[in-house]
């Protein structure tokens, strides 16, 4: 995500506040889902790690009052990630199959073999 200051053309101040709120939520969510630190998030998003830590602490305090609010959003986000990951795995598998079939075709042409013969009893 890109940070934007108040001098960006085309954005009103209220839109910038809303975008920053979404960005803060994305940063906090990324931290809470694990696999990263506030220092890594500092480098990635350009906010000071202490600021990110304050956002996280404030969010955790909010979670104590409203424990189900974040969990529903996390489940929806994880489901989307899982679907995206599965789609990417399917795409890569299809590419692999195409490459293997091309290799078999080339091998058949170069060596005069028929690797794709049907298995089973020999025909007379």
pLDDT digits (tens, 9 = 90+) for 51-97: 999 999 988 887 777 766 666 666 666 565 677 777 888 898 899 89
Element (H, E) at 88: helix 67-111
What would the two tokens of residue 87 be? 């789609």
- Quick check: 104 pLDDT over 50? yes
Higher pLDDT, 56 or 122: 56
Residues 41 and 27: beta-carbon distance below 8 Å? yes
User: Residue 10: pLDDT band by 50, 70, 90 thresholds?
Assistant: very low
Average pLDDT over residues 11-36: 74
Mean pLDDT of the chain: 76
Cβ count near 12 (within 10 Å):
8
User: Residue 102: pLDDT band by 50, 70, 90 thresholds?
Assistant: very high
């Amino acid at each position: 995500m890109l940070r934007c200051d108040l001098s960006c053309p085309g954005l009103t101040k209220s839109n910038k506040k809303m975008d920053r709120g979404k960005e803060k939520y994305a940063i906090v969510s990324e931290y809470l889902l694990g696999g990263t630190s506030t220092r890594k998030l500092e480098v990635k998003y350009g906010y000071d790690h202490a600021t990110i830590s304050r956002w996280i602490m404030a969010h955790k305090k909010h979670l104590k009052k409203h424990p189900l609010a974040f969990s529903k959003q996390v489940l929806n986000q994880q489901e989307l990630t899982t679907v995206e990951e599965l789609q990417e795995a399917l795409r890569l598998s299809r590419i692999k199959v195409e490459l293997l079939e091309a290799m078999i075709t080339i091998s058949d042409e170069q060596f005069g073999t028929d690797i794709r013969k049907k298995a089973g009893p020999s025909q007379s």
